[in-house]
Structure 1
Amino acid sequence: MKRSFRLAGHRTSIALEAEFWRALEGAAERRGKTLAELIEDLDAGRAETALPLASTLRVFALNERG
């Protein structure tokens, strides 16, 4: 499932499986953020890892589920 977001002033589409989107939505809700805000935060922090954004989101979602 693809969703589009504006990150750093640019429009981008991210394709993830529905289970990952659900985990990310739950994580955003627990933090009192929108999904877009959570993704912006994760995008900003991934410069150190050089991972693609979709991979960063999947790893984050897996870690959230414990």
Structure 2
Amino acid sequence: MPLVKRSLSLHGHRTSLALEPEFWDVVDGHVRSEKRSLASLIAEIDDSRDTEDPLSSAVRLWVLRHVKAT
């Protein structure tokens, strides 16, 4: 399945993030249920990741932990 790319502002800079649609479904559901912005969730994930790890990998791991916790 092809990656879906989205653009957002992260810490004042425009960036893009490409994930599989299934990962976006979980992320979108979470931000909708928490009534928060996509950028705020991605910034939280970005702030907690190891700087050596790609942001897309950190988001995928966040999704995995989120799904396992529910």
User: Is the TM-score greater than 0.5?
Assistant: yes
Residues 1:34 and 2:34 aligned together: no
Which structure would you say has the larger Rg? 2
What TM-score, normalized to structure 2?
Answer: 0.80
* Structure 2 counterpart SS, 1:33: coil
Q: Which runs of 5+ in 2 are unaligned?
A: none
Identity %: 42
Cα distance in 1 for partners of 2:42, 2:21 equals 16
Residue in structure 2 matching 1:4, options 7, 20, 34: 7
CA RMSD, Structure 1 to Structure 2 (Å): 1.2
Give the equivalent residue in structure 2 for 1:53. Answer: 55
Runs of 4+ deviating beyond 3 Å: none
Which residue type is aligned with residue 61 of structure 1? V
Higher relative contact order (CA 8 A, sep 6+): 1
Q: Which runs of 5+ in 1 are unaligned?
A: none
* Structure 1 counterpart SS, 2:36: coil
What TM-score, normalized to structure 1?
Answer: 0.84
Aligned length: 64
